[in-house]
């Protein structure tokens, strides 16, 4: 499988519409890839909270329309990062969109763990309630978003649901970049799965972004890593390596589940 991670630079002086057009062109340029991945909330910026309500859109809104067409034109599976979703029956959500090569919206995922510690996203957006996997021709992928990376139990559920590859769009702050790399590698090692973690470059509402999108194999080896600026990573993935790793080092079989709650003494 050939995967491309497009680390988008989010410039506050660039309009959302211009960015959609530019990103769609970047996706079309990846024709020949099997899977293309974009970052979290790239249309508006992950920390541009004051713009969330104004830029919120439906699952058939302008970003979805542009990304559907780009996926179809390039003939790729496109994880289009996430948008601020406006649900007419509920709150805003941080929602990831996965398009098939014919442009169909094949899967969505509403971010479960919201960042902000009772501020920002944590109070402005609803929490997702379902894990999400998708079956591609070469692999089953598990979907997560940014802050989710800090919660290993979510990834265990995705692996139990069949995930061989974990795809994580993000808008991760530069001041915690070491955590980003460490956690991406940890999720790969403990789940014996590929991790494709795609971040943003630039500055969102005064918050410098880490960049450093990363692809990690099931042994925790870094196959590709971006720098801090806008960049595209192209990497070849051998999906047979997941089964081989799990067979040669069957740690997942040794999990002890359902242990009783310890008594207080």
| Residues marked as catalytic | 40, 111, 146
Strand pairing category for 92-99 and 77-86: antiparallel
DSSP 3-state of 1: coil
Determine the angle formed by the axes of helices 16-28 and 62-74, rounding to 10 degrees.
Answer: 20
Burial of 44 (0-12, 13-18, 19+ CB in 10 A): buried
- Angle between helix axes 152-160 and 177-191 (nearest 10 degrees) is 30
Tokens (6 digits) for 223? 């196959």
Query: Rounded to whole angstroms, how far apart are CA atoms 199 and 5?
Result: 9
Query: Is 69:26 a contact under the CB 8 Å cutoff?
Result: no
């Amino acid at each position: 499988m050939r995967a491309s991670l497009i680390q988008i630079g989010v410039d506050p002086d660039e309009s959302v519409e211009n960015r959609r057009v530019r990103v769609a062109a970047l996706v079309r340029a990846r024709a020949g890839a099997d899977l293309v991945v974009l970052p979290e909330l790239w249309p508006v910026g992950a920390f541009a909270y004051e713009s969330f309500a104004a830029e919120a859109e439906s699952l058939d809104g302008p970003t979805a329309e542009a990304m559907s067409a780009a996926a179809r034109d390039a003939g790729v599976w496109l994880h289009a990062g996430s948008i601020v979703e406006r649900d007419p029956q509920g709150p805003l959500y941080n929602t990831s969109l996965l398009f098939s090569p014919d442009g169909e919206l094949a899967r969505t995922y509403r971010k479960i763990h919201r960042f902000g510690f009772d501020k920002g996203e944590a109070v402005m957006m609803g929490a997702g309630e379902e894990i999400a996997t998708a079956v591609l021709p070469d692999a089953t992928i598990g979907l997560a978003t940014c802050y989710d990376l800090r919660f290993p139990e979510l990834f265990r559920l995705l692996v139990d649901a069949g995930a061989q590859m974990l795809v994580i769009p993000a808008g991760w702050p530069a001041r915690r970049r070491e955590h980003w790399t460490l956690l991406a590698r940890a999720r790969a090692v403990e789940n014996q799965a590929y991790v494709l973690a795609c971040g943003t470059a630039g500055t969102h509402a005064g918050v410098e972004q880490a960049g450093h999108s990363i692809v990690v194999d099931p042994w925790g080896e870094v196959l590709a890593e971006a720098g801090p600026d806008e960049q595209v990573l192209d990497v070849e993935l051998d999906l047979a390596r997941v089964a081989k790793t799990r067979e040669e080092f069957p740690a997942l079989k040794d999990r002890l589940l359902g242990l009783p709650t310890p008594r207080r003494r």
